[in-house]
Amino acid sequence: MQPLSAIPPRRDPAPSRAAYRMQRLWLTPLFRALMRVGLPAFAIMMVLGIYLSSESRRDALSGGFASLRDSFQERPQFMVGLLAIDGASPALAATIRATLNLALPQSSFDIDLDATRAQIEALDGVASADLRIKAGGILQADITERVPAVVWRGLANVELLDETGRRVRLVAARTDRADLPLVAGEGADKAVPEALQILAAAGPVMPRMRGLVRMGERRWDLVLDRGQRILLPTEAPVRALERLIALDQAEDLLKRDVLAIDLRLQDRPVLRLAPYALSEMRRARGIDTSESDL
């Protein structure tokens, strides 16, 4: 027998057991995927994890990033130095400035335009606002004011309402805005569009008009001078008023000594006469009421 420790052939084409096993392992799909994707991913995560495990490094990293961001955002090109308000009365403009309370100059990155606009539009006197940053560091606010349509004498104070019934502002007295019609009564602000329709239809009686009173949050009373009242129905008050005006023009109804005209029943308007007129009418008709309750 040849010695077992014989010199091996100079170049053995056979792979060693380790090389053979390694090649087979490398041909295993799972192992291959692990080596090609898993291992690099793990190495990257490992390096990142080790680097970020120290508090001071994390702080330095976040601080460096924050300072870089601040230095970029606070360049003069991005600074806003002026708030310009257009389309608002001086008093409203002052209110807006006071509400926003912007610390100018400020970087335009720090101004939240949507939130600021919502803040402006939340004010009573502003119908809509248009906010943008113009070149030259100007924050431009274009304001559309609410237009007051009626004066509402509520329970506590006198307010101006716009045509939708939104509050515009307080006034000290009704005479501050004598040009606007007056509405009164609880819940009147919720029915301002209807009141405006009634007022538009009440043209011929306008000179005698005192105002509209909301009754029971349900219907309107038209109050004229001399204490006369026109009780309008809940449904279709405008048509009832138009019929009354036609009646008035035909028969001069409102000039007579009538306390109230009740139009709540559509097919039967009811008049309430003044006491003197009533007794006169009874006397003329020969009705004696001296012994009855009437």
Partner 1 sequence: MTDLYQSQRAMRHMRRAAMQRGVIAILDVGSSKIACLILRFDGPERLREADGVGSMAGQSQFRVIGAATTRSRGVRFGEISVMNETERAIRTAVQAAQKMANVRVDHVIACFSGAEPRSYGLAGEWDLQDSVVTEQDVARVLAACDVPDIGEGREVLHAQPVNFALDHRTGLGDPRGQIGNRLACDMHLLSVEATVIQNLLYCIKRCDLELAGVASSAYVSGVSSLVEDEQELGAACIDMGGGSTGISVFIKKHMIYADAVRMGGDHVTSDISKGLQVPLAVAEKIKTKHGGVHATGMDDRDMIEISADSGDWEKDRRTVSRTELIGIMRPRVEEILEEARARLDAAGFDSLPSQQIVLTGGASQIPGLDGLAARILGQRVRLGRPLRVQGLPQAVTGPAFASAVGLCLFAAHPQDEWWDFDIPAERYPARSLKRAIKWFKDNW
Which stretches of the chain bind partner 1, using CB under 8 A? 12-15, 17, 19-21, 23-24, 27-28
Pick 14 or 98: Cβ nearer partner 1 = 14
* Residue 239, both tokens: 């048509």
Q: How far is the CB of 36 from partner 1 (least distance, A)?
A: 14
* 100-103 contacts, C-beta under 8 A, 24 or more apart: 102/139
Pick 28 or 62: Cβ nearer partner 1 = 28
Q: Are 159 and 169 within 8 A, CB to CB?
A: yes
DSSP string, 181-194: -EEESTTGGGGHHH
Pick 1 or 178: Cβ nearer partner 1 = 1
Q: How far is the CB of 40 from partner 1 (least distance, A)?
A: 22
Pick 1 or 294: Cβ nearer partner 1 = 1
Q: How far is the CB of 33 from partner 1 (least distance, A)?
A: 13
Q: Are 197 and 238 within 8 A, CB to CB?
A: yes
Q: How far is the CB of 16 from partner 1 (least distance, A)?
A: 9
Pick 9 or 136: Cβ nearer partner 1 = 9
Task: Identify the DSSP state of 146.
Answer: P
C-alpha angle 274/279/282, rounded to 5°? 125
Distance CA 28, CA 15 (A): 18
Q: How far is the CB of 1 from partner 1 (least distance, A)?
A: 11
Could you list the beta-strand ranges (E) of the chain.
79-80, 82-86, 106-107, 126-134, 138-145, 148-153, 158-162, 167-171, 182-184, 209-215, 219-224, 229-231, 258-262, 270-273
Q: How far is the CB of 42 from partner 1 (least distance, A)?
A: 23
Pick 18 or 103: Cβ nearer partner 1 = 18
